[in-house]
Chains A and B, each alone.
Chain A
Amino acid sequence: MIPALTNLTRPMPFLADVEESFWFPKQASSFASEVDWVYDFILYICIAFFVPMMAFMVWTVFKYTKKKGTKAESQVTHNTPLELAWSIGPSVLLVWMFVQGSISYLDMRTPPEGSYDVGVQAFKWGWTMDYGGGTFHPELHIVKDEPTKLSMRSTDVIHSLFIPAFRAKKDIVPGRYNYMWFKPTVASEQVSEEELAKAKKQSEGGDGWDYDKYQFTPDGYTFFDLYCTEYCGTNHSEMQTVVVVHETQEELDAWIKANSSRPDDQTPAEWGQLLYNRRGCSGCHSNDGSKLVGPSFKDLYASEHALASGDSVVVDDNYVRESIIDPKAKVVAGYQPVMPSYKGQLSDDDIESIIAYLKSLSSNADAK
């Protein structure tokens, strides 16, 4: 059965949230009202042209549809003043669109001095935000009313970072840094403890957190969507993450601290699993044996693999470590050397945790 038929009966989803307009998602940055205003104004101009033109056309069709063979009332061939008027007249409006568009654009291009800087690394198919001090996380966490600058780079192909609620977008081109900035104006809300606990319980044992289903992060914040908008291959449509806007810098600092390294109450294997989901490993390496871009992690540890160079290698601690720091050194036969290096991005404890996680996934005797 076609699934959509059942959905048609429910109310138009985009009218459910009163804060959203017909055309746009919520306005959550200082750019949003500016962009929406320019958009609305162009829309009114277009309607002011389109409606009379089409009304005129329809009226003409009704009025002048004649029996075959009737001669036209007029055979006028041209009217230069009239034609010049409708050629040059509307140009004034085009000039306004150009000027207003460019002024707003320059604002959006120039980050203010002293903006809060977050590093963004885009890869097939995920995001890693660099908060400094060795803290990396796929979610973008920023502070309300604080101008934020993103310094973005890509390790493989072109990506593009788009936050609809901020009306901000910029391509991320490999081989260079691209920058963008925005000032969020609406803070994320925190859901109640019970709701969060319920959702956490529900998602246990599944494959990761379902943002779309719960509409809040595993930390209990509501979020804004962040999309990749430059086609980048197989899982382009899954290259999404979320933006969480904190009320205060203190709140953000606390969140960063909580995510900077393995908490004391977590085993290395648990932390390794978290890193596996969080740092993009899961995009290319499955944990259930299915073949993706890279070899599956299931039963990988302590197994023997043929390399592209013709040698073979037993997957041990040192091989895993080398493959994370210098992935192109020993590529398993049958796979492309496409993995980016994680050198300097994972602490020793992180790498050990990933090794522990790999061990937990392996049924090879030596892994125990």
Chain B
Amino acid sequence: MSTAITSRDPGYPTDRENYLTNSSGILSWIFTLDHKRIGLMYLVGVMTSFAVGGLLALGIRLHLLDPEGWMFTGAEANNIYNQVFTLHGAIMVFLFIIPSIPAALGNFLVPVMLGAKDVAFPRLNLSSFYLWCFGAIFFVSALFSSGLDTGWTFYTPYSTTTDTSVILATLGAFILGFSSIFTGLNFIVTINTMRPPGMTWFKMPLFLWATYATSIIQVLATPVLGITLLLLIAERTMHVGIFDPEFNGDPVTYQHFFWFYSHPAVYIMILPAFGIISELISVHSHKHIFGYRFIAYSSIAIALLGFLVWGHHMFTSGMSSLTTIIFSALTFTVSVPSAIKVFNWLATMYKGSISLTTPMCYAISFIFLFTIGGLTGLFLGTLATDLHLHDTYFVVAHFHYVMVGGTLIAFLGGVFHWWPKMVGKLYNETHGRIASLLVFLGFNLTFLPQFVLGSRGMPRRYATYDPEFAFLHQMSTYGALLLGCGLLYAFIVLMTSLAKGRRSPANPWGGATLEWACTSPPPYYNFERPPVVGDPYDFHNIEWDAQEEKYISTEPERKLVPEETPEEVPAHH
């Protein structure tokens, strides 16, 4: 680019600087304290869990191809089905969605976005990864011992009486909880203390706001899950009489304990997704995010209000009418901040300069799917309609639209967006976009029919069903197969890039946040000195270099010396 304006481009890292290659050998990974390597190991871990959970999901859908059950046969068919849907839920929730964005992408991005060299407590960070591994081992051993058939919610008294491996699995979830707390704690301290000079709270990228809000929930809510699971184990082994009516316990108390964590956990899953989408929409529209403060505050509002709505999982459980109505009212309040974000994203795209890149395709499909997920929540928050829809496929469809259509799509968008930064390679855009389209179509074909199934009365967690529901179930199954193909396609696109991808420039998308100011992949030390901090969504000085196919930051010519000598010379001179 031949111009008088000076441009800034960090170039490419040398092998000695590149965090992937600056040290080698398996031990350099096992004992690494580099947040980027830990993030990458998390990424491999959560993707493996996702693959396992996804295959289980396909098992569920294939079984439901036929009203009498197709996939699993024989006398144990129902038991197998019950174990499969339980493990699908437990693995997806505890091993995939909760750590997906915060632990995998968050670990990689938080320090880089802050211009810092690492998180506040690198050793705690590594230990949280190993806790995740231990938790995963417990889950897998539950799978290979006597299975688990309680549903991921472990409702008592079923969970205290079934003879499957409840204790192994709850210990696994307990350990995973600590992993989650450590990550949250680390991010809170990092974001509070390690922001570079000039980065005030309202100059932070929105992904950091979302991560901060998520971390608050992780630290405050997860201990309750730990207590609940310990009490469940105590009830099972010692019959302490808190949850099991046979020993004067109350099963509904368990539900209160459980959802006091697990509803906020829903926001642990979706808030980081909001953060990613805010980044993606702004960067790929090359336009300042619209309503920064509203988006930032709404993340915090969701984190706080999310603690007050757990009761809506229990509208039919026999709580008093007053309690039920109060929870219904609180539930509606939490829908407002989510709606604000969607409006703001749409306004950001308006009059932008949109590049339909793969991450942007995911961001657009996120808005579509999450809006459906959010709006269908209104039917469930409204008491009269919830009584009919509760525990039917309508609920299944609703939370899959939020968790898969929301979090998973945002996670994929985030992975495609930061992939060049993480591995230093560009993937094939055309194939990336085709994969995102397949995922979008497959997802809708899977879960749209489930809304109708639910409102027509199909209960959830059924291994067999009445023949009148067969058509919609079959549509859903074919959708799931298409979704599976789309996800596999996306995975292949990423893997191919590792082998054949073009080297990625420092700023392939034109982002203004700090991670684009260091090389791709970043050097092991991230930044030599704290970088210059500007508005994270100011794209004025980011220019496309068509020759080298990359974005560079330009610096306008600065006048350091006044052109004219003042007439009067100051007295002290």
Contacts and interface: CB of A to CB of B under 8 A. Distances in A.
Interface of A: 2-4, 7-8, 12-14, 20, 22-25, 34-35, 38-39, 42-43, 45-46, 49-50, 53-54, 56-57, 60-61, 64-66, 68-79, 82-83, 86-87, 90-91, 94-95, 97-98, 100-106, 108-109, 156-158, 160, 162, 164-165, 167-171, 173-176, 178, 212, 225, 227-238, 240, 290, 336, 338
Interface stretch (B120-128, B375-383, B495-503): B375-383
Given A4-B477, A97-B382, A72 B316 contact: no
A162 B456 CA distance: 12
B452 A23 contact: yes
B318 A178 contact: yes
B66 interface: yes
Contact of B464 (A49, A76, A231, A238): A238
8 contacts: A42-B382, A57-B364, A74-B287, A77-B537, A78-B293, A94-B335, A98-B328, A238-B78
Contacts of A229: 390-392, 459-460
Contacts of A290: 75
Given A34-B384, A57-B364, A66 B354 contact: yes
Contact of B544 (A69, A79, A91, A173): A69
Contacts of B464: 237-238
Contact of A73 (B317, B339, B351, B546): B351
Nearest to A10: B471
B462 A87 contact: no
A329 B529 CA distance: 77
Contact of B286 (A49, A72, A176): A72
Contact of B391 (A25, A77, A79, A162): A162
Interface string B312-355: 00001110010011001100100110011011101101111111
A2 B452 contact: no
B538 to A, nearest CB: 8
B353 A7 contact: no
Nearest to A231: B461
Interface residues of B, number: 105
A293 B384 CA distance: 38
B11 interface: no
A68 B463 CA distance: 51
B70 interface: yes
B368 A57 contact: yes
Given A72-B352, A91-B336, A157 B378 contact: no
Given A90-B339, A98-B329, A7 B471 contact: yes
A83 B353 contact: no
Given A35-B385, A97-B382, A4 B470 contact: yes
Given A34-B384, A234-B79, A86 B390 contact: no
A4 B63 CA distance: 11
B82 interface: yes
B268 interface: no
A167 B379 CA distance: 14
B384 A4 contact: no
A237 B473 CA distance: 15
A106 B452 CA distance: 26
Contacts of B367: 57
Contact of A102 (B288, B328, B471): B328
Nearest to A8: B474
B350 A60 contact: yes
B82 A236 contact: yes
A162 B462 CA distance: 14
Given A65-B356, A162-B459, A39 B474 contact: no
Nearest to A85: B343
Nearest to A22: B452
B346 A53 contact: yes
Contacts of B351: 64, 72-74, 76
Sort A-B residue pairs by CB-CB distance and give the 8 closest, nearest first: A164-B457, A175-B245, A69-B544, A101-B382, A104-B384, A105-B383, A237-B462, A72-B287
A38 B385 contact: yes
B543 interface: yes
Interface of B: 65-67, 70, 75, 78-79, 82, 149, 151, 155, 157-158, 161-163, 245-246, 248-252, 285-294, 316-318, 321, 324-325, 328-329, 332, 335-336, 339-340, 342-344, 346-347, 349-356, 364, 367-368, 371-372, 375-376, 378-379, 381-388, 390-392, 452, 455-457, 459-468, 470-472, 474, 477, 537-540, 543-544, 546
Contact of B251 (A20, A42, A158): A158
A3 B478 CA distance: 13
B74 to A, nearest CB: 11
B161 to A, nearest CB: 7
Contact of B368 (A34, A54, A101, A160): A54
A49 B346 CA distance: 13
A25 B544 CA distance: 57
Given A57-B349, A108-B387, 20 more contacts: A4-B66, A4-B474, A7-B470, A13-B471, A14-B456, A24-B455, A42-B379, A65-B356, A90-B339, A104-B384, A106-B325, A162-B392, A162-B459, A165-B457, A169-B391, A212-B67, A231-B151, A236-B462, A237-B459, A338-B161
Nearest to A286: B75
A102 to B, nearest CB: 5
Given A2-B65, A72-B285, A65 B354 contact: yes
Nearest to A71: B353
A170 B466 CA distance: 21
Given A53-B346, A229-B391, A237-B465, A101 B384 contact: yes
Nearest to B163: A336
Contacts of A68: 355, 544, 546
Instruction: Please indicate which of the listed interface residues B151, B316, B364, B468 has the most CB atoms of chain A within 10 Å of its own CB.
Output: B316
A98 B379 CA distance: 10
Nearest to A338: B161
Contact of A42 (B79, B378, B474): B378
A175 B318 CA distance: 12
Contact of B328 (A13, A90, A101, A178): A101
A324 B470 CA distance: 39
A92 to B, nearest CB: 11
Contacts of B354: 60-61, 64-66
Nearest to B314: A171
A233 B243 CA distance: 18
A69 B371 contact: no
Contacts of B251: 158, 173-175
Contact of B325 (A60, A105, A158, A160): A105
B459 A227 contact: yes
B385 A94 contact: no
Contacts of B65: 2-4
A23 B453 CA distance: 8
Contacts of A39: 379, 385, 388, 455
Contacts of A38: 382, 384-385
A105 B266 CA distance: 26
Nearest to B477: A4
Nearest to A2: B65
Nearest to A291: B75
A103 B432 CA distance: 50
Most buried by A among B79, B318, B379, B546: B318
A176 B320 CA distance: 14
B240 to A, nearest CB: 15
Contact of B350 (A13, A64, A65, A168): A64
A203 B285 CA distance: 66
Nearest to B538: A75
B453 to A, nearest CB: 10
B332 A50 contact: no
A230 B316 CA distance: 10
Nearest to B387: A169
A339 B286 CA distance: 67
